[in-house]
């Protein structure tokens, strides 16, 4: 599941709001969990921080995967370029391509 920057900002804002509540209402009951246990402000704050950490980890993993794809694409491009240069060399004596065009191999 992709994580957007706005998701992280929203969770960070919720953490800031709860932090402000913690300062004034240390023992306030905020909600109940799935097992109907009472969750206080600090409990909710911990849960939100865990969610933010998980989302940041997923985002970092996505960036890491994208970086790997870029590296793989660069390698594939280099392989294709080498094959094209090999074909050109074999057909007409040109060995490589630079800013000025194909360079003829020494005869």
- Residues 53, 11: Cα–Cα separation, whole Å: 10
- Residues 64, 47: Cα–Cα separation, whole Å: 26
Q: List the beta bridge partners of residue 29.
A: 40
Q: Which domain holds residue 33?
A: 5-104
Secondary structure element (H or E) that encloses residue 8, with its range:
helix 5-24
Give me the tens of pLDDT residue by residue for the chain, a chain 107 residues long. 667 788 888 888 888 887 777 777 666 677 777 888 877 777 888 888 888 888 888 887 788 888 888 999 989 988 888 888 777 665 555 555 565 655 555 55
Reference 7, options 61, 65, 54; nearest CA is: 54
Domain count, the chain: 1
Secondary structure element (H or E) that encloses residue 102, with its range:
strand 101-104
């Amino acid at each position: 599941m992709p994580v957007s920057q706005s998701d992280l900002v929203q969770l960070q804002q919720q953490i800031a709001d709860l932090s402000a509540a913690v300062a004034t209402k240390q023992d306030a009951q905020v909600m109940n969990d799935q097992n109907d246990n009472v969750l206080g402000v600090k409990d909710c704050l911990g849960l939100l921080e865990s969610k933010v950490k998980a989302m940041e980890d997923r985002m970092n993993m996505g960036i890491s995967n994208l970086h790997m794809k870029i590296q793989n694409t660069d390698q594939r491009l280099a392989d294709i370029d080498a094959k094209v240069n090999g074909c050109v060399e074999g057909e007409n004596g040109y060995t490589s391509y630079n800013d000025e065009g194909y360079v003829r191999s020494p005869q």
